[in-house]
Structure 1
């Protein structure tokens, strides 16, 4: 009977409807039963509320972790990890060598894959990272920030270590200290040095390929960029130029990839126009060259005829005959035999100078005062 009483009003109604005789219940028992019901009802409600709260939290956690948003985030994270792995695996030496025949570096394929946006999430992460680095250098004093972080971290560690030893005889840094300090292995260092070597050679080789116009389009594009940078540097700071260059380097291939058909059609049309203009210029130049050559030949012929006429007038037939006679006489004279008797003998005596009369000395004439000087005739 106690079990029936303790189960509530439902059991009492069942006992009333049964055919068994129901003994009278003392008033004290009824009071005790009511008090017991009041006492047991509160924990039952609290447990139900706790269970409901637990079920609600579990359902909310499931909705957050297993809902469409969480599933989308997990999918995007998995795809991002896969694309980063693909980008890292793309570092291979290209099969096509340079124009000189020497092999290129594996960073050629890496940057080609990065800027081609074949892995869009990895390319977007790289672009945002470079932009964030540019703004960090521009708006934050990285050197002072590094010093500030250093003294704050070391100060906190020293204070925790000293306080722990003073209070608990165990320092905080001592508890976190590893059993063996971390070191860089030789293989890791060699790999890092090899990557740096490949990266430096990438920039050196690309500079020479652009300088010697291995790819004319790329060299022309760099020349145009340098031309605009020459004028922009007067009004745009260096960090602005770096931001513009990074944006063009990353977003230029993306724009071309998304509008490949339109851009290729415009490029083909431009090539046709340029080819037609070039052919026309070649034809006009060839015609002008032929005309100039013909006119030059005519002028040269006229001036040659005039020159021959002038030379003919300057050498008349009489002069030509005289020259012919003199030439014949001299030739005949040279052919004749000359003898010593034909020439007079040379004088053998010395040359003497004979005077007709002796020369008298000149006597100076003294002129007295008051007399006239004689006239010399």
Structure 2
């Protein structure tokens, strides 16, 4: 009984909603066919909007087509990634609408990350969606014997194909290589201007991070990254003129500094040579004086050598220094009675 009453109420409410929908569609058709509406939708404003929309789509297509490997390799001869061409086209504002929309999107994301609790809102949206689907399924099964959520369930769940996954992995690989190669090009000064700009940015960020929050520093960096090429592109002639003048002045100053340095170097070299000559002359004079004191001025070299020769020929000992050799023959000493008799003869007589 209750189910029949509920079904009748649902049928009546469905009929009422269908009647309201038909009335609303009829009113919408009437408004659409009204002359004022026709003049607005087919007027110059609508045409301008459609034209801008078509141009924006064309620029995004061109930006997507710019994802090609540049023909110019790196300084090491390695080929660059297709993201070099993509970011080069994006930051150089070759497609102004696409670059402007990208810049606005990044700025909005920074503000959203700063002022919106994205993680909390993500959980909120999740529980709201899940609550609606669960309630609709439960109410449908209770009242209509079939769930409402199951009626809109797809016939086949979506899956990630291997081709799509390989394409995503390939893009991530190219993106990582883009950042790695770009960092090495900046570190090893392949482009001096880019390396100097990176140095200046890192130097300023080191001091700004103390007083500026991270989101503010990200906003400043993004603005400089996008707007600096745009400012240069719109004022290229003026900037190139001033840069050429500054380069000319720097070259003149460097030449002047080189000339002064060479002049001072020549002066220093001459003074050094003169000092070295003076000191060498004094040293030679001192050596000559020392040699003069060590030798006698009255004797020449030849008599000294003759005297040395004569001294060498003179013998060191004379014949008188040795005792005379015996002239008699050597005799054998007496033996036996003869020796005793000779001894008795030699003894002195002692008085008794």
* Coarse TM-score class (shorter-chain normalised): 0.7 to 0.9
CA distance in 2, matches of 1:63, 1:104: 52
For residue 342 of structure 2, what is the aligned residue in structure 1? none
CA distance in 2, matches of 1:334, 1:106: 102
Alignment TM-score, normalising by the size of structure 2: 0.76
Q: Relative to structure 1, is the Cα distance of residues 289 and 318 closer, same or farther in structure 2, using a 3 angstrom cutoff?
A: closer
Q: CA deviation at 1:66?
A: 0.9
For residue 283 of structure 1, what is the aligned residue in structure 2? 259
For residue 343 of structure 2, what is the aligned residue in structure 1? none
Alignment TM-score, normalising by the size of structure 1: 0.71
For residue 167 of structure 2, what is the aligned residue in structure 1? 191
Q: Relative to structure 1, is the Cα distance of residues 336 and 260 closer, same or farther in structure 2, using a 3 angstrom cutoff?
A: same
Q: Relative to structure 1, is the Cα distance of residues 318 and 118 closer, same or farther in structure 2, using a 3 angstrom cutoff?
A: closer
CA distance in 2, matches of 1:282, 1:210: 30
Q: CA deviation at 1:173?
A: 1.7
Equivalent position to 1:293, from 255, 269, 272: 269
For residue 29 of structure 1, what is the aligned residue in structure 2? none
Q: CA deviation at 1:230?
A: 1.3
Q: CA deviation at 1:168?
A: 1.1
Q: CA deviation at 1:143?
A: 1.7
CA distance in 2, matches of 1:238, 1:333: 105
Structure 1 unmatched ranges of 5 or more: 1-49, 345-377
CA RMSD in angstroms, aligned pairs only: 3.1
CA distance in 2, matches of 1:336, 1:121: 118
For residue 90 of structure 2, what is the aligned residue in structure 1? 114
Equivalent position to 1:176, from 126, 139, 152: 152
Q: CA deviation at 1:301?
A: 0.8
Equivalent position to 2:207, from 231, 240, 245: 231
Task: Count matched residues.
Answer: 294
- 1:212 counterpart = 2:185: no
For each residue in 1:187-208, what CA deviation from the matched residue of structure 2 results, as whole angstroms up to 9, or x when unmatched?
1111111111111000100110
The DSSP-based 3-state class of the residue aligned with 1:315 is: helix
Equivalent position to 1:309, from 285, 290, 306: 285
The DSSP-based 3-state class of the residue aligned with 1:76 is: helix
Contact 2:32 2:38 in 1 (8 A): no
Q: CA deviation at 1:137?
A: 1.0
Q: CA deviation at 1:313?
A: 2.5
Q: CA deviation at 1:54?
A: 4.4
CA distance in 2, matches of 1:291, 1:109: 55
Structure 2 unmatched ranges of 5 or more: 1-25, 322-352
The DSSP-based 3-state class of the residue aligned with 2:48 is: helix
Higher relative contact order (CA 8 A, sep 6+): 2
For residue 345 of structure 2, what is the aligned residue in structure 1? none
CA distance in 2, matches of 1:67, 1:318: 122
